[in-house]
Amino acid sequence: MKIAILGAGAWGTALAINLSTNHQVTLWTRDQNQLAELVALRVNQRYLPDLFLPDSLKLTSELNLAIKNAEFVLIAVPVSGLRELLQKISAIDKTLPIILGCKGFETQSSLLPHQIVHEVYSKTAPCGILSGPSFAQEVAQGLPTALTLASDDNKFFRDIIRAIHTACLRIYSSNDVIGVETGGAIKNVIAIATGISDGLKLGNNARAALITRGLAEITRLGVALGGCRETFMGLAGIGDLILTCTGDMSRNRQVGMMLAAGQLLPDILQKIGHVAEGVHTAREAERMSRHFKIEMPVTQGVCSIIYEEVPAEIVVKKILEREPKTEFDR
């Protein structure tokens, strides 16, 4: 297939490398300096410095050239840049199927990525969500990975799944767009909390408890938004959550560990050099928890540490001192 991947960060580059094995892929970046480096070195020095770009992979900073002959567009930019990019695609006057590889809620509007597509781009163009436990480095290396592609348009995306599914990039289908998106968004917040716990050396028991109770928060919000409960037991739910909370390559976990060490958020984000979506998602998730009147104490604790600069030790103590609860929501 002819595929346009928009966004040359770690995830977009990894997917471009992986999919170039069997497809005609064009990778787009808006940054002219980055494009010049990619063309000259055939390496994404900032995000995947140890991996070469295949000779077959086309590179461009011209959006119209990237999507001109594409059969579908895979967007791998941060949620904060999604609306602007979709507006630019709309201006080209070519309606294409969209696969979203971004995770989180839009700041202020609290919209999920597919909702931004419907608002800005098209309510009728096929739109899918690609999510699941996947570090970019391993996807680029061709290591075994399983993902979920969720869409309301099952017929169209069934064909795409057949095309991009391989032994090392297994794609499972779902029609629960909201559930898959919510799982991919909130797991980043829980990963920050787990990083804080690990940074404070609270132990493996605490980590397991945080992941489990974090899953309960993800499920509560996801169901409130209209997602299916079983989705959170799958790849886009607990699978992605476990990876992001425990893997050393997790940016959000790194943020949590640095917060536990007393470092300031601006300094942390500068050191990481990548987008940590959980930082922005935490505030939107906390806002929605109030709107739906659901309990999300871990998420609220992360917000207190990030936005109110409450010491991590105090937040942890407050969570631990909560009244006993029944384990499952009724």
240 assigned to a ligand binding site: yes
Q: Could you tell me the maximum CA-CA distance found in the chain, to the nearest angstrom?
A: 60
User: Residue 232 in contact with residue 179, Cβ under 8 Å?
Assistant: yes
d(CA 92, CA 149): 26
User: Residue 281 in contact with residue 105, Cβ under 8 Å?
Assistant: yes
Annotated catalytic residue 293: no
239 assigned to a ligand binding site: no
User: How is 276-293 classified by DSSP, letter by letter?
Assistant: -HHHHHHHHHHHHHHHHT
103 assigned to a ligand binding site: yes
| Identity of residue 46 | R
DSSP H/E element including 318 = helix 312-320
68 assigned to a ligand binding site: no
9 assigned to a ligand binding site: yes
Sign of the Cα pseudo-torsion (281, 283, 287, 293, in order): positive
11 assigned to a ligand binding site: yes
28 assigned to a ligand binding site: no
Pick the catalytic residue: 2, 58, 88, 187?
187
150 assigned to a ligand binding site: no
Name the token pair of 159: 């064909």
109 assigned to a ligand binding site: no
Annotated binding site for substrate: 103, 251-252
Annotated binding site for NAD(+): 7-12, 136, 251
Give the catalytic positions in this structure: 187
Annotated binding site for sn-glycerol 3-phosphate: 103, 132, 134, 187, 240, 250-252
Annotated binding site for NADPH: 11, 30, 47, 103, 136, 251, 275, 277
